[in-house]
Amino acid sequence: MGQDIREEAKRRAAERAVEFLKDGQIVGLGTGSTAIFAIRAIGRLVREGLKIRGVPTSVDTARCATELGIPLVDLNETCSVDITIDGADQIDGRFDMIKGGGGALVREKLVAHVTEREVIVVDPSKPVATLGGSCPVPVEVLPFGWCLAARLLAKLGCTPSLRQRNGQSFVSDNGNYIVDCEFGDISDPGYLERSIKELPGVVETGLFVGLAHTLIVGTESGADVTQRFR
């Protein structure tokens, strides 16, 4: 799939998701190149009179939403979210996911946990039969002793690498580092998520298990909507 077609697929998925929004809702605003299409569409709807308040999942998303005139609310003030629209790096048939390619996994997971309906918007390259393969699992770790956390992660069976940006260690919105962990095929995402979370120095993992409710895959001509089988 060419880059232009992929961008169109992302836009279609995101704009389909925005059709679920209703007046009065608290809306989780995802992070990434697919979620941004939803944020722009929400901005247009807000200018046309839609009354929602957004909970951003990253500093970038907060800045963008503010520029577009979307009113924001702090997660501590609301503690619950009606609907969230977010992207994913991979999603499998049970709607388990790898997220955090954009480095926003901690806030994305917190928001997903308190969301009534988590809507995931992706292009057709993201759905997979089995999570992992060549897609690493991002793990946010404390900068203090990150090397030890990386060594412990390697003992779980991955090849860890500290994420870099412009020749420096990537720093998340929470002031932490991200270790990208290549596990190959992941047979039990829930078990792996729990095993990673037990390690000292780990803040959060990019494995999102049981958190998504609706998947929207943009295609060349439209968007396919699937609900998670409960």
Q: Specify the amino acid at residue 171.
A: V
Supply the minimum distance, in Å, between the C-beta of residue 89 and ligand 5RP: 5
Give the Cα separation of 84 and 28 in Å (integer). 4
How many CA within 13 A on the CB side of residue 208? 30
Supply the minimum distance, in Å, between the C-beta of residue 100 and ligand 5RP: 5
Residues in contact with ligand 5RP by CB under 6 A are 30-35, 86-89, 99-105, 108
Supply the minimum distance, in Å, between the C-beta of residue 32 and ligand 5RP: 3
Give the Cα separation of 69 and 67 in Å (integer). 6
- Which residue lies nearer to ligand 5RP by CB, 30 or 54? 30
- Which residue lies nearer to ligand 5RP by CB, 22 or 197? 197
- Which residue lies nearer to ligand 5RP by CB, 43 or 101? 101
Identify the three-state secondary structure at position 34: coil
Q: What is the DSSP string of 68-81?
A: TT--B--HHHH--E
- Which residue lies nearer to ligand 5RP by CB, 6 or 148? 6
Give the Cα separation of 119 and 123 in Å (integer). 13
Beta strands across the sheet bearing 90-91: 90-91, 97-98, 207-208
Supply the minimum distance, in Å, between the C-beta of residue 16 and ligand 5RP: 15
Positions marked catalytic: 108
